[in-house]
A = this chain, B = another copy of it.
Amino acid sequence: MNHPYARLTARFARMATINEAASMLGWDAAAMMPAGGGAARGDQLAVLAGLAHEQLTAPVVADELAAAEAEAGGLDGWNQANLRLMRHAHLRADAIPADLVEAAARANSACEKVWREARAKADFALVRDNLAEVLRLVREQAAALSPALGLSPYDALMDGYQRGIGAADVAPVFTAYEAFLQDALPRAEAIQAARPAPRRPEGPFPADKQEALCRRMSARAGLESEHSRLDRSAHPFCGGTPTDVRITTRYDERDFSQSLMGVMHETGHALYERGLPAAYARQPVGEAAGMAAHESQSLIIEMQACRSNPYLGFMAGQLAEAFGADDAYDESNLAGLLRRVQRGFIRVDADEMTYPAHVILRFRLEQALVSGDLGVADLPGAWNDGMQSLLGVTPPDDAKGCLQDIHWYDGAVGYFPSYTLGAMAAAQLMAAARRAVPCIDLALAEGDLAPLLGWLRAKVHSQGSRLGFNDLLLAATGKRLDPSDFTAHLTARYLG
C-alpha cells in the first residue's frame, strides 16, 4: 500500500463503497420507504454524498495522482486507463468550489419542489425564477469545468454524463436524423393507417400475474435472481450495485405492455451492471462507460431484441400462458401493438422513431439556455415552436411542453442527448452482433438472449469504462457512432 497508485485504488474503492450504500438507500427510498422516512433519508444521502466527495477532494489526492502518474509506465493498459479516469474524476470534483456545489444542490432541490407544483398546475411562470437560478449555477459550473477539462462549457456538462462525445459530434447526427424523420414519419404513418388496427387483448391483467411474468421473462433474458430484485416504484429504474441489482416497475392492470417492456428495458441496464469487469469492481475503469452506453444496453434488449419479430413470437406464447388464450397474442398483432409510431407531446411515451425528435429539441434548447442565447422567459415559446417544426404538433399547455421532464429543473443539463445516442448505438451494436453471431434471431424466437448477451458481455460489458463512447463503438463495431444503422433499423421495421 505504499505505492501511490495502490493508495489511490484503496481510496476510490472506499468512495465507490460509500456510493454503493447511497445507491441502495436511493432504491429503498423509491421502492420501500414509508413517506415519513423521507426527511431522514435526505440527510443520510447528503452525508454519504459529502463523505464520498471528501474522499475525492482530500488535499493528499493531488499529490498521490501526480506521483502515480510519474510512475504510470509500470502499469498495464487497464490500470493506466483507471489512473486517467481517477485524474478525470478529480479534475471534475476539484474544478467546482465547495460553495458552488452546495449552492447548486440547494437551488436544484428548491426548484424541483416548485416544478412539481408548476407542472401540476401547467403554470411555467411559477417556476421561472427558480429555473433561472438553477441555470445560472449550471452556467457557473460549466465555466469552471470548461478550462479544467479543455472542453466547451456545454461539452463539459455532457462529459459529466457521457465521456468521449461532444456537441460537435452530436449536432450533425441529429440534423441528419431530423431530415430522415421528415421523410420517414409520414410514410410510416401512412403504412400503419393502411393496415387493420391491432386487436387489444382483453384485460384486466392482475398486477401479481404481470409481476410473475416480468420476473420470468427477465430471468429468461439472463438476469439471475441470486443477484437481483424486481420491485415496484412510481418511476421505473435500475439501481443497486453490480452484484445486487435492483430494478423496479409499476403495473397498470388495463395494459400489460408498459410493465413488461419497461422491465425488459431495466433488465438491459441490469445485465450491463452484472457484466462489468469484476476485477476492477469499485474502480473508475470498472464502471459502466456512461449514460449513453447504459441506454444502449437497455435499448438493445428492449427495442432491438424484445420488439423483434422472433422475440414477439416467443412473447405471444408467454402472454397466453400468463393471462389465458386471446387471439390478440400472435406475433403480427403484437407487432402492431408494440411498434406503433405516434406523434405525441410526451417524451417518455414516445415510440422509437419520434423519440429522437424530443431529444433533438431539448439538445438544441439546452445549449441555447447555457450559452444565454435563449432566456428562460422565452423557453415555453421556443419549445412549442420546436415541437411544431420537428413533429408538427403543438402542446396544449406547458405541462405537456417544457414542464414535462424533471431534468433541467433538477440541474441536469447535457443529459438528454444520451437517450438518442444510446438508441443509435443500440442499433449499431445489434447490427454488428448479428454479423458476428448468426444464431441471434433463431435464439430470440425461443426467448433466449444468450447469444446476443454473450457478444455484449465481450464487446461492451466487460470493457467497463476503459473506452469513451466513440472508442467503445469503434472497438465493438469497427466504426465510431454511425446513425445509419439506426435509420436502417427503423426503415426495415416501419417502412418495409
Task: Show the binding face of A for B, using Cβ within 8 Å.
Answer: 14, 17-18, 20-22, 24-25, 28, 32-37, 39-41, 43-44, 47-48, 51, 224-229, 240-244
Contacts and interface: CB of A to CB of B under 8 A. Distances in A.
A228 B227 CA distance: 26
Contact of A36 (B21, B39, B51, B227): B227
A243 B32 contact: no
Contacts of A225: 34
A229 B231 CA distance: 15
Copies in the assembly, this chain: 2
A229 to B, nearest CB: 6
Given A24-B25, A24-B28, A28-B24, A244 B36 contact: yes
Given A40-B241, A244-B41, A47 B34 contact: no
Contact of A33 (B21, B34, B48, B244): B244
A296 to B, nearest CB: 25
20 contacts: A14-B47, A17-B44, A18-B47, A18-B48, A21-B25, A21-B44, A21-B48, A24-B44, A25-B25, A33-B244, A34-B226, A34-B227, A34-B229, A36-B243, A36-B244, A37-B244, A40-B241, A40-B244, A41-B244, A51-B51
Contacts of A48: 18, 21
A392 B44 CA distance: 51
A228 B240 CA distance: 22
Given A28-B24, A44-B20, A36 B241 contact: no
Contacts of A20: 40, 43-44
A33 B241 CA distance: 11
A197 to B, nearest CB: 41
A228 B24 contact: no
Contact of A17 (B47, B227, B241): B47
Nearest to A22: B21
Contacts of A36: 224, 226-227, 243-244
Contacts of A244: 33-34, 36-37, 40-41
Nearest to A244: B37
Given A17-B43, A18-B48, A24-B28, 4 more contacts: A32-B229, A34-B227, A34-B229, A41-B244
Contacts of A243: 36-37, 39-40
Nearest to A43: B17
A130 to B, nearest CB: 27
B37 A227 contact: yes
Q: Which of A25, A28, A228, A242 has the most CB of B within 10 A?
A: A28
B241 A34 contact: no
A14 B17 CA distance: 18
Contacts of A227: 34, 36-37
A243 B37 CA distance: 5
Contacts of A240: 37
Contacts of A229: 32, 34
A95 to B, nearest CB: 25
A25 B22 CA distance: 10
Given A18-B47, A21-B21, A35 B226 contact: yes
A320 to B, nearest CB: 27
A37 B22 CA distance: 15
Contacts of A226: 34-36
A414 to B, nearest CB: 29
Contacts of A24: 24-25, 28, 44
A37 B48 CA distance: 20
Contacts of A28: 24, 28
A28 B23 CA distance: 13
A40 B17 CA distance: 8
A62 to B, nearest CB: 22
A224 B37 CA distance: 12
Nearest to A281: B40
Contacts of A224: 36
Q: What 5 pairs between A and B have smallest CB-CB spacing?
A: A37-B244, A36-B227, A36-B226, A17-B47, A21-B44
A34 B274 CA distance: 14
A337 to B, nearest CB: 33
A190 to B, nearest CB: 48
Contacts of A241: 37, 40
